[in-house]
Amino acid sequence: MRPDNFQQEQQALLQLVLGAAEGVALPPWLSAGDATQARRAQRGLQAYRANGQALAERALTAAYPVLVQLVGEENFAALARHFRAFHPPLCGDMACWGDLLGGFIGASAQLADDPYLADVAHLEWRMHLAGSAADVPPDPASFARLATEDPARITFTLGAGVALLASPYPVASIVNAHLTGSPSLQQAGQRLAEGRAEHVLVWRQGLRPRVRVSTANEHRLLGTLMAGRSLLHALEALDDAPDAVPFDFNAWLGEAVQTSLAMGVHSLPTTEGNT
């Protein structure tokens, strides 16, 4: 017979399957019957848990390949199990699960000796999202508007998966050293030993997520544009910065267009230029 509060019982069973309620007995409606039926239910639950854990580890390994290399496969598997116990998947698409791992690592006393790992995870998750971000169609003809229209009324259409990260650690160097070999692992290690901070830019070029070290100027410019502000506002933000340094906008734009970081120019609502 179904329980009176079926939704509550479903949630309890889900927690059991996900392993978020270890040691909790099977719900009475599931364990009803003789001892043989109860043992079968328990074995089935254990199988679901094992399969779910294996799937979770594979999903995290796919999203965090550099982190796996940094901590080792066995340690990462243990980290994945621990993380899943505190933050079980809440939907069927495992590719959407794992965004909280960076914060989880940052709060871990066991990983406190390697504080850069949390930002490596934050960066890898941004790359993971960039890989599945919606395509942005290029509009090369629209760049002509830069020469004819008020910069207070226009802004850039940025490419797929653009994201920023400011880290006190050389996380872009670390990630690229492991994924592309440039810089070398030795160079990335030296930058870490020197305590070098990095502004990091993530986006997708074609089908491949890209990551590179950014400048403070580029970081500020893109952050302003991503907030929905005008090109004029973004450029003024560079001039008003307390650490302002010269910024070659034309050189930046040429590279941004060539690498699919800037895909075109579009208009802003008329109220934006007055704010």
Residue 266 and residue 264: Cα distance in Å, rounded? 7
- Residue 243 is predicted with a pLDDT of 73
In terms of pTM, does the model score above 0.85? no
Supply the pLDDT for residue 20.
46
So what's the pLDDT on residue 95? 73
Long-range contacts of 217-224 (CB under 8 A, 24+ apart): 217/241, 217/245, 217/247, 218/252, 219/164, 219/166, 221/247, 221/252, 222/158, 222/162, 222/164, 223/164
pLDDT at 21: 44
* Sequential pLDDT tens for the chain (275 residues): 444 555 655 555 555 555 544 444 555 545 555 566 556 655 655 655 556 567 778 889 999 999 999 999 999 999 998 998 888 887 656 678 899 999 999 999 999 999 999 999 999 999 999 999 999 999 999 999 999 999 999 999 999 999 999 999 999 999 999 999 999 999 999 999 999 999 999 999 999 999 999 999 999 999 999 999 999 999 999 887 777 688 999 999 999 999 999 999 999 987 544 44
Q: How many Cβ atoms sit within 10 Å of the Cβ of residue 204?
A: 22
